[in-house]
Amino acid sequence: MSKLKENFIRDMQLKGYRDKTQKSYLMHLKGITRYYRKSPEYLGSEEIKNYMYYMLNERGYSNDYIRGCYSALRFFYTTTLQKEWSKFSIPQARRKRKLPEVMSIEEIDRLFNVTKNLKHKAILMIIYSSGLRVSEGCNLRIGDIDSKRMAVRVRSGKGDKDRYTILSELALENLRIYWKEQGLKNNYNNDTYLFPGGVKGKPLTTRTVQRVFKEAKNKAGIIKDVTVHSLRHSFATHMLELKNDVYHIQKLLGHKTVKTTSRYIHISQQRALNIKSPMDVLGRL
């Protein structure tokens, strides 16, 4: 299995998969190896199906987890073992389409007001105001903030693509306050992380930002089931409520298709309130 593991890692790196994806795929491969106590190269279709059925029904893992397992095994068998995956006839779990939970403008305002640490407030503000994923916010560098064009450069976003998104005037003002305080202690250049972490030369970790958000959420008295990623969902929804075009929001978010962005239309309160019920029309007849 060790040689196969090396080949699997090689193939994933050649494919350009991120570290997070590689770790996830390895975890799934180790899981099925431990379950059968033999290398996955010797497993047949029924064994793979039974393992995934066990993980879903007896271990209680979610459909998303099973989909991840499916993707990992498919890549392993088709790329590393060079076998025809279709011959295994493994059904793929459907992705459940849930509408994301979003916060109101008032809740966002409360969240920022209770965040007193300048660095923490700055990163939460830039994530929300520019519609960033938490990892994108953590990996921002000083040179990515373009105050002249009021733009933020996102390097190697999802799909390993660069993009530009908007820079809020209020977020920029807060960044300058934060940076002035930081600049008193350190020397920086354009390639320095905007939000350095505890380890020299490394950015703030996503786990730290998640913890910061949770603490701020509790202080602000927000009872919704929201995470730091909800700031991005809220950005998209609020942009729609401000009558911005879906196509432009898609580009700012870095979505591959406008279909992904369109789901926010369903949770846009402003647009929903502008639609009248047919009962109101009947009432005037």
The number of beta carbons lying within 10 Å of the beta carbon of residue 203 is 21
Q: Is 158 labeled as catalytic in the residue annotation?
A: yes
Identify the helix (H) or strand (E) that includes residue 75.
helix 63-75
pLDDT at 88: 78
Q: Is 141 labeled as catalytic in the residue annotation?
A: no
Q: Is 255 labeled as catalytic in the residue annotation?
A: yes
Please name the residues in contact with 241: beta carbons below 8 A apart, sequence gap of 6 or more: 268, 269, 270, 271
DSSP E strands in the chain: the ranges are 145-146, 151-154, 163-166
Q: Is 120 labeled as catalytic in the residue annotation?
A: no
pLDDT at 34: 92
Catalytic residue selected from 119, 217, 233, 255: 255
pLDDT at 264: 62
Q: Is 164 labeled as catalytic in the residue annotation?
A: no
Closest CA to 241 of 273, 269, 213: 269
**pTM assigned to the model:** 0.70
SS3 246: helix
Tens-digit pLDDT string for the chain (285 aa):
588 899 999 999 999 888 889 999 999 999 999 999 998 889 989 999 999 999 988 888 888 889 999 999 999 999 999 998 887 788 887 776 677 788 989 999 999 999 999 999 999 999 999 999 999 999 999 999 999 999 999 987 666 678 889 899 999 999 999 988 876 455 667 778 999 988 888 999 999 999 999 999 999 999 999 999 999 888 888 888 887 777 787 787 877 776 666 666 665 655 555 555 565 555 555
Q: Do domains 2-88 and 105-272 have the same CATH topology?
A: no
d(CA 129, CA 252): 11
Q: Is 35 labeled as catalytic in the residue annotation?
A: no
User: What is the CA 231 to chain-centroid distance, rounded?
Assistant: 11
pLDDT at 248: 80
d(CA 225, CA 222): 9
Catalytic residue selected from 25, 77, 128, 264: 264
Domain 2-88: give its CATH superfamily. Answer: Tyrosine recombinase, N-terminal domain (1.10.150.130)
Residue reference for tokens 């202080």 = 219
What dotted CATH number matches 105-272?
Answer: 1.10.443.10
Domain range summary for the chain, segments of one domain joined by +: 2-88, 105-272
pLDDT at 268: 61
List, as own/partner pairs, every contact residues 247-252 make where C-beta atoms lie below 8 angstroms and the sequence separation is at least 24, other chains included.
Answer: 249/131, 251/163, 252/130, 252/131, 252/163, 252/165, 252/166
Catalytic residue selected from 28, 110, 121, 133: 133
d(CA 111, CA 143): 27
Catalytic residue selected from 176, 229, 251, 271: 229
